[in-house]
Amino acid sequence: MKDVQFVPRGLPVYRIPVRGLPPLSGWAVKYVSGIDDGKVAPGNWLDSWSVSPVSTEKQNITFDFGPDLLFCFNHEADAKDAVSRLRRHEIETEVVKVGNPS
C-alpha cells in the first residue's frame, strides 16, 4: 500500500438500513489484496468513495471497505476508475456487476 494513510475516525459512523429498497444495481468494487492492517479482508466491498480536489493537479481520495455490499457505482467507467486509482497505490480490487444495471 503505497502513499496511503489510515485515518482513524474520531466519531463512530452509524447506518440506518432502509427497508423496502430495491436491490443494488450497478458496478461494485471488491477488495482483493494490498491493505495489510487486519481491518480489511479479501472479499470486502468498497462502501465509501469520495474524490475531493485539493488543487487542479492533486486530489484527495477517501475510501473504506466493509463486509456488506452497501454501495455501487451507476456507471462501469466510474468503478473502473476507482480500481485504477487504487491499483496505483498497490491496492488490488476488481469490478463486479451487481443487479441488472442499464
Q: What is residue 2's predicted lDDT score, i.e. its pLDDT?
A: 77
pTM, rounded to two decimals:
0.84
Is 5 a residue whose pLDDT tops 90? Answer: no
What is the C-alpha to C-alpha distance for residues 71 and 74, in angstroms, rounded to an integer? 10
Average pLDDT over residues 74-82: 97
Is 101 a residue whose pLDDT tops 90? Answer: no
What is the C-alpha to C-alpha distance for residues 26 and 89, in angstroms, rounded to an integer? 24
> Can you tell me which residue has the cell 485504477?
84
> Can you tell me which residue has the cell 475510501?
63
